[in-house]
Amino acid sequence: PSLAKTLILFGATGDLARRMLLPSLYGLHADGLIAPDFRIVGTARSGEDDASFRAMAEAALERHVLPENRSADSIAAFLDRLSYVELDASRPESFGRLADALGPRAGDGIAIFLSTAPQLFEPTIAGLAAAGLAGDNVRIGLEKPLGFDLASSRAINDAVAAAFPEDRTFRIDHYLGKETVQNLIALRFANSLFEPLWNAAGIDHVQITVSETVGLEGRVDFYDGTGALRDMVQNHMLQLLALVAMEAPARFDAAAVRDEKVKVLKSLRPIDAASIGSHSVIGQYRAGAVGGAIVPGYADELGRASDTETFVALKAHIDNWRWKGVPFYLRTGKRLPARQSEIIVQFRGVPHSIFEGRRLTANKLVIRLQPDENIRLLVMAKEPGLDRDGILVREVPLDISVPNAFAGVRRRIAYERLLLDLVEGDPTLFVRRDEVEAQWRWIDGIRAGWKATGMIPGGYAAGTWGPTAAIALTERDGVSWHD
Ligand code: BG6
C-alpha cells in the first residue's frame, strides 16, 4: 500500500479531534514517524481559517499533551503541517474547494478520517467521489458509531462501498489501538505457556469489565437512545472477546487475524427472549457518590425520564469446541466506582490439593487496560517462614507490566497506532465489514429480547457496581466479579 502524504480530517474542530486525534498526530510528528512533507488538512463546517485552526490545535496540544512530551519548537513545526478548508457535507461544491486546496497533492496518497456524525457519512462519501477524491490513492477511516443496528450499519457500509472498496476502508475501534490489547495478542501467540490451557479444559470462565466513573458528559443527543450495549459492547467489548477467544491466525496480517475474529463473533450463541432474563442485566444510574462527589442521576442530568441503559452485564457463550461450557461475563457501565478496564481469564483449580487445611486460589490472568496498563498472572506461592503447620501458601502476582518491563517508554494514545496504520495502509487493527455485521447481529438479538420481554433498566446508585442483579448473574454460577 502507498504511504499517504496527506491526511484529511473531517470533524477537525470536534471533541475527538481536540482530545485524541491532534495529540496523536503530534505524537507521531514528535517521534519522527511521519514524513517531513506530510500535511494535515482539517475540515469542518465552522468558519475557521488556517490561522484560527492552528490556534485551536495549539490550545488542544497544550491541554491534552503532557508537558514532558512536547516542546514549543516541535509544536510550531507541527502546526506548519496544518491547514483548514471550510466544508459543508450537504453542499457538493464544498468538495470541489477541498480538491482545489489539495492541488497536486490530490494525486498522491491520501488518508481520510471521518470523525463526524454518521448521518454525514453518506453525503461525505458521495461528495468525495464526485470531486475525484476516492481513487485508488485514497483510503478512508471511519470513526464509530457505524450505525445503530444491523440494517443501518449495512446502509452505511453500502454507501462507503459504492466509492471505497473494502481494502481501502478502515473502520476504527480505538480499543484495538490500545497497547495492552495488542499485548494480549503477543501474550497468547508469542508464548507457548498459555495455549495448552487456553480452552474449556483449562479455563473456568472469562470476565471482561469496562467500567467508567463518568456519566452522560453532555452527550445527550448521542448517548440517550444508544445506551451501554450499543456504545460499548457492540464494538469494544466484542473485539476484546474475539481476541481472547480466537484461534491462532497463521500470521499477524489483516486477513488472517480478521478471519479468526469473525469466526468467534459468528459463534456467539444468540441471547433471545427465552434466555434474556438469565443472561442479561441492565441498569441506569441514580444519584450517588462517585470519588467523594455527589452526582445526579441519569434522568436528572438528561432532564427527563428515559429507558436508556447506562449499565449492562451479559453472560455470553461461544458455541465451538474450544469454549464449550465456558461463560464469558461482560459488564460495562457509567458512574461505577472506578475507571477500570480488565480482562480476567480464570483458570481451573488444581484437581486435588496436597495442602490440607489451606485454601488454594485458582490461577488467574489479569489483563488490565485502564487506568494503568499491565498484565499479571496470579499464582500460588509459599509464604516465607517456618510455619509449624506445614507450608503456608498465598496468592502472589507475577507482573508482566508494560511500565515495569519497558521503563521509560511513553504511554501512547490508542489513536497514534491507528492513525499511523491508516497513513501507512495497514488494516490489521481495523474492523472488517463482516465483523461489524456479526457484532450487530448478536446485539440486535439482545435488544429484541429486551423488547419482547419488556425488560427495562433497574436503578443503581452512582458509585456502585450496577444493579444487584448483576452480582446475581455470576453468583448463580458460583463466580464473583473481580473488583
Ligand atoms: C467510546 C464511548 O467509544 O469509548 C464512550 O462512546 C466511552 O462512551 C469511551 O467513554 C471509552 O473509551 P476509553 O478509551 O476511555 O476506555
| Chain position carrying cell 457496581 | 465
Mutation probe of ligand 1 site: the residue of 217, 231, 415 with most atoms within 8 A of C-beta? 231
Residues, the chain: 483
Q: Does 173 sit in the ligand 1 pocket, CB within 6 Å?
A: no
Q: From CA 271, how far away is CA 277, in angstroms rounded?
A: 9
SS3 426: coil
Is any ligand 1 atom within 6 A of the Cβ of residue 231? Answer: yes
Choosing from 146, 229, 232, 431 the residue with most ligand 1 atoms within 8 A of its CB, the one to mutate for a pocket test is 232
**Residue 143 in contact with ligand 1 by CB distance below 6 A:** no
Helix, strand, or coil (residue 142): strand
Q: Is the ipTM of this complex over 0.95?
A: yes
Which residue is catalytic, options 29, 236, 279, 317?
236
Residues ≥6 apart with Cβ < 8 Å to 362: 204, 346, 347, 348, 349, 350
* 236: annotated active-site residue: yes
Count other Cβ atoms within 10 Å, centred on residue 404: 9
Atom of ligand 1 nearest to the CA of 175: 14
Give the CA dihedral 176, 179, 185, 190, nearest 10 degrees: 160
What gap in Å lies between CA 79 and CA 83, rounded to an integer? 8
pLDDT along the chain (483 residues), means of 10: 93 96 98 96 95 98 96 98 96 94 95 93 96 97 94 96 97 95 94 96 98 91 94 98 98 97 98 96 98 95 96 98 98 97 97 90 95 92 86 91 72 94 97 98 98 97 97 97 90
**Roughly how many angstroms between the first and final C-alpha of the chain, as a whole number?**
44
Question: Which protein residue has the closest C-alpha to ligand 1 atom 13?
Answer: 175
- Exposure string for 77-95, b = 16+ CB within 10 A, e = fewer: ebbebbbbbbbebeeeebb
CB of 394 within 8 A of CB of 380? yes
For the Cβ of 342 lying below 6 angstroms from any atom of ligand 1, the answer is no
Which residues contribute to the annotated binding site for substrate?
Answer: 174, 178, 212, 231, 334
Burial of 102 (0-12, 13-18, 19+ CB in 10 A): buried
Contact 344, 377 (CB under 8 A): no
Residues making up the binding site for NADP(+): 11-18, 45, 144
213 alpha carbon to ligand 1 midpoint, in Å?
11
Q: Three cell numbers at 297? A: 442521576
Give the Å distance between the CA of 300 and the centre of ligand 1.
22
Q: What is the pLDDT of residue 1?
A: 66
Angstrom CA distances, 225 to 230, 306, 358, 478, stand at 9, 8, 50, 34
Q: In whole angstroms, what is the distance from residue 343 CA to residue 240 CA? A: 8
CA of 351 to the centre of ligand 1 (A): 40
Q: Which ligand 1 atom minimizes the distance to the CA of 214?
A: 10
145: preceding bond cis by omega (within 30 degrees): yes
Are 283 and 467 in contact by the 8 Å Cβ rule? The answer is yes
How many angstroms is it from 63 CA to the middle of ligand 1? 19
User: Measuring CA to CA, which residue among 218, 236, 115 is closest to residue 175?
Assistant: 236
Residue 402: per-residue pLDDT: 65
Enumerate residues 6+ apart whose C-beta is below 8 A from 409: 402, 403
Strands 311-316 and 293-295: unpaired
CA-nearest residue for atom 4, ligand 1, is 232
- Of the CA atoms within 13 Å of residue 238, those in its CB half-sphere come to 31
Q: In terms of DSSP bridges, do strands 328-333 and 293-295 run parallel, antiparallel, or are they unpaired?
A: unpaired
* Cell numbers linked to 383: 509464604
Instruction: Return binding residues.
Output: 11-18, 45, 144, 174, 178, 212, 231, 334
Query: Exposed/middle/buried for 168, CB within 10 Å: 0-12, 13-18, 19+?
Result: buried
178 CA → ligand 1 middle, Å: 12
Atom number of ligand 1 nearest to Cα 235: 3
Rg, the chain, Cα only: 24
Are residues 47 and 86 in contact, defined by beta-carbon separation less than 8 angstroms? yes
- For ligand 1, mutation pick of 21, 174, 221 (most atoms within 8 Å of CB): 174
> CA dihedral in degrees (274, 278, 282, 287; nearest 10)?
140
211 CA to centre of ligand 1 in angstroms: 10
Q: Which atom of ligand 1 is nearest to the CA of 369?
A: 16
Name the grid cell of 474. 455470576
Per-residue pLDDT at 202: 98
| Distance from residue 358's CA to the centre of ligand 1 (Å) | 42
CB within 8 Å of 103: residues ≥ 6 apart: none
Which atom number of ligand 1 is nearest to the Cα of residue 178?
A: 14
Distance in Å, CA 459 to ligand 1 centroid: 22
State the closest ligand 1 atom to the C-alpha of 223, by its place in the atom list counted from 1.
8
pLDDT at 364: 97
Distance CA 334, CA 213 (A): 6
